[in-house]
Amino acid sequence: MEIEGATAIVVGGASGLGEATVRALAERGANVTIADVNAEKGEALGEELEADFVACDVREEKQVEEAVGRAAKAGSLGIAVCCAGTGWAQKVAGSRGPHDLLPFETIIQINLIGTFNVLRYAASAMIGNEPDADGERGVCVNTASIAAFDGQIGQIAYSASKGGVVGMTLPAARDLSQYGIRVNTIAPGLFDTPLLAALPEEARAALGAGVPFPRRLGAPPEYAQLACHVVENRMLNGETIRLDGALRMPPR
């Protein structure tokens, strides 16, 4: 998929990995719609880049449908990147009793069901596109985590949600292959995003030092660089790509 001139939506695009992806796509000439629950940051980024912003909670089916519809009005939607997600730390059971159900359900709703909502509505919009010379109509890029494979103590909800995203990737690519729509997932390691921003600098440096190479936290533009490559490389389909500096997470 050629990025220049394409219509794209980045869900969770107001900050972190999503913001970097919005910037990278816009720099490469895409017409980008930013979708996020954070209206303040999303509108500011949209104003800066002269991009459209739409408020969107990925748990709300109608909001996702409307966000994708807004993006598609700008042209044939060819690129959809979902970076929306959050985390929760709690053991499956302990001295205080079993894991609370509500936060587990919330993490699944945002990270897994939310990703599925974006995927299904974006793909549905792409099916109506005119195929290019290679028969391609669109590309969907989802975001998982290495926690899908190396879940740590206290990550039962987060790992389950991200494991679900990984599990959807190949069957989604197979489902959509007849329409020329590719589906891939990026599984980042430790990245310098708002989820880690609350930690003291010393703690952040210690986390980065645990990465084999390079010995630092990943930078959001590095995620965005890979997302753009996934969009452009037509033989990448049905894959989950770890982006982690060879990190394998220990139990804790």
What's the confidence (pLDDT) of residue 176?
98
Q: Is the pLDDT of residue 72 over 80?
A: yes
Beta strand 181-188 with 138-143 is parallel
Amino acid at 124: S
Active-site residue among 121, 158, 179, 223? 158
* Mean of pLDDT values over 67-73: 96
What's the confidence (pLDDT) of residue 9?
98
Q: Give residue 248's pLDDT band: very low, low, confident or very high (50, 70, 90).
A: very high
Q: Which domain holds residue 146?
A: 7-242
**Residues 162-168: contacts with CB under 8 Å, at least 24 apart:** 162/85, 162/111, 162/112, 162/187, 164/108, 164/111, 164/112, 165/111, 165/112, 165/115, 166/240, 168/115, 168/116, 168/119, 168/142
Overall number of domains in the chain? 1
pTM, to two decimals: 0.96
The answer to whether residue 247 sits within a structural domain is no
What's the confidence (pLDDT) of residue 173?
98
For residue 226, the domain's CATH number is: 3.40.50.720
The answer to whether residue 1 sits within a structural domain is no
Q: Is the pLDDT of residue 198 over 80?
A: no
Segment 202-232, tens digit of pLDDT: 888 888 999 999 999 999 999 999 999 999 9
Query: Residue 156: which H helix or E strand, with range?
Result: helix 156-176
* Mean of pLDDT values over 83-100: 95
Q: Give residue 85's pLDDT band: very low, low, confident or very high (50, 70, 90).
A: very high
User: Does residue 158 have an active-site annotation?
Assistant: yes
The answer to whether residue 2 sits within a structural domain is no
What's the confidence (pLDDT) of residue 158?
96
Q: Is the pLDDT of residue 75 over 90?
A: no
Average pLDDT over the chain reads 96
The answer to whether residue 250 sits within a structural domain is no
Q: How far is CA 40 from the centre of its chain?
A: 20
The answer to whether residue 252 sits within a structural domain is no
**Residues 162-165: contacts with CB under 8 Å, at least 24 apart:** 162/85, 162/111, 162/112, 162/187, 164/108, 164/111, 164/112, 165/111, 165/112, 165/115
The answer to whether residue 57 sits within a structural domain is yes
The answer to whether residue 248 sits within a structural domain is no
The answer to whether residue 251 sits within a structural domain is no
Q: Give residue 80's pLDDT band: very low, low, confident or very high (50, 70, 90).
A: very high
Contact present, 52 and 33 (Cβ < 8 Å): yes
> CA-CA distance, 173 to 230, in Å (whole number)?
13
* Mean of pLDDT values over 155-169: 97
What's the confidence (pLDDT) of residue 195?
76
What's the confidence (pLDDT) of residue 252?
85
What's the confidence (pLDDT) of residue 74?
82
